[in-house]
Amino acid sequence: MSDFAIGVDLGGTSLRVAVVEDKGTLLEKLTLSTKVLRGPERVVAAMCDSIAALQTRYKSNGKMMGIGVGVPGIIDLHTGVLRESPNLPGWHDYPVLQEIEHRLGTRVILENDANVGAMGEYWLGAGRGYDSMFMYTLGTGIGGGIVFEGAIWHGMTGMAGEPGHTTIEPKGPPCACGNRGCLEQFAGATAVIRMAKEAIAEGHAPKLKREVDNGQELNPQLVYKLATQGDKASRAIYRTVGEALGISVASMINVLNLPIFVIGGGVAGAWEAFSPYIFEEVRKRSFVYNATAPPEGERIAPGCTHITHALLGADSGLYGAARLPMLPEERKAHSTNARSSSRAL
Ligand SMILES: [Zn+2]
């Protein structure tokens, strides 16, 4: 017998639902074939059917502690409405929380996907054992999450933890957010692909060009593969990724003085190729880091600043979403404005 919660990870391309015990064991994971792009009503209906089925299946297992749902985009914490989601076209201003709660007849906790990813890593991954944590999620773009003393830091309106849109290069490439030279323009998957295309167009990347001409898809994995084989152009791209991240991490360390900064998301799979440049930049730019760098090889050194990669891969969001209803009241949200539903379970 063990109590459990249900976590949902609603991604731009897939929908996953999992049952997770309060000790962190994943009991079952469903990947639904429902196409997210087919519109919110169908997706929410399929999601709720799966939740209800899992709830019934594990009813004798222990107490059902609640349901947490991670969604990509900006959520209005007061109303549970999805304000903006570049990865979910057609969901703009959709009352996602209300619809889920209406169908299930119970309260659920809605959270931004990067925040649940951070909570998952904090609970069972790279952040385990630390008091607070900052996480970068390098996906198509760059998300982020701050776990501060065990709770997600939402800020005033739920928009805190967006390192992807802080400036790295004042006159850099324009970003969809309206700024120029955002971190996202140098370190997300879209950025890696853009830099690779530019290098090919400028004639600097003959090996990349050959792979693409042979039908290989130009993506961060291909650039990483060539980088590990010593290809100069590919290595230079990941050098840019690492330097941009290092500039950002150095600033965050100086501002927040947190014990751990975690780099996750798909592009973080190329950690070996870009991480040396993160450390190089951070040592150059952060006096707080230089005063608190950990001794070589120590995972948790008290009073030290750790920079590392995520451990849970694509499942971090599922674990984090399931963790939300398990948290004690005072850790459910770090915002006086947080929606009351998170207190109703
Ligand atoms: Zn931006």
Average pLDDT over residues 114-122: 96
Query: What is the structure's pLDDT at 340?
Result: 39
- The token duo for 317 is 């969001």
Report CA(141)–ligand 1 centroid distance (Å). 9
Query: What is the structure's pLDDT at 82?
Result: 87
Report CA(116)–ligand 1 centroid distance (Å). 21
Report CA(191)–ligand 1 centroid distance (Å). 12
Q: In percent, how much of the chain has pLDDT > 90? A: 76
Report CA(97)–ligand 1 centroid distance (Å). 27
pLDDT band at residue 110 using 50, 70 and 90 as cut-offs: very high
Residue 118 CA to residue 125 CA, distance in Å, equals: 9
Report angle CA 248, 127, 338 to the nearest 5 degrees.
Answer: 80
pLDDT band at residue 333 using 50, 70 and 90 as cut-offs: low
Report CA(179)–ligand 1 centroid distance (Å). 5
Report CA(174)–ligand 1 centroid distance (Å). 8
Report CA(178)–ligand 1 centroid distance (Å). 6
pLDDT band at residue 12 using 50, 70 and 90 as cut-offs: confident
Report CA(187)–ligand 1 centroid distance (Å). 12
pLDDT band at residue 83 using 50, 70 and 90 as cut-offs: confident
Report CA(87)–ligand 1 centroid distance (Å). 15
Q: Is 211 helix (H, G, I), strand (E, B) or coil?
A: helix
Report CA(140)–ligand 1 centroid distance (Å). 13
Residue 101 CA to residue 80 CA, distance in Å, equals: 10
Average pLDDT over residues 315-336: 84
pLDDT exceeds cutoff 80 at 13: no
- The token duo for 206 is 């003959």
Report CA(165)–ligand 1 centroid distance (Å). 4
Report CA(180)–ligand 1 centroid distance (Å). 7
Report CA(143)–ligand 1 centroid distance (Å). 11
Residue 190 CA to residue 14 CA, distance in Å, equals: 19
Residue 340 CA to residue 345 CA, distance in Å, equals: 10
pLDDT exceeds cutoff 60 at 40: yes
Average pLDDT over residues 249-271: 97
Determine which of 52-66, 72-86, 215-229, 267-281 has the lowest per-residue pLDDT on average: 72-86
Report CA(182)–ligand 1 centroid distance (Å). 5
Q: Is 166 helix (H, G, I), strand (E, B) or coil?
A: coil
Residue 250 CA to residue 282 CA, distance in Å, equals: 5
Q: In percent, how much of the chain has pLDDT > 70? A: 96
Residue 18 CA to residue 7 CA, distance in Å, equals: 5
Average pLDDT over residues 103-123: 94
Q: Classify residue 167 by its DSSP letter.
A: B
pLDDT in tens, 15-36: 999 999 999 999 999 998 777 7
Average pLDDT over residues 45-74: 93
CB-CB contact of 143 with 164 (8 Å): yes
Give pTM, 2 decimals: 0.92
Average pLDDT over residues 121-127: 98
pLDDT band at residue 341 using 50, 70 and 90 as cut-offs: very low
Report CA(183)–ligand 1 centroid distance (Å). 7
Burial of 123: CB neighbours in 10 Å, binned 0-12, 13-18, 19+: buried
Burial of 291: CB neighbours in 10 Å, binned 0-12, 13-18, 19+: exposed
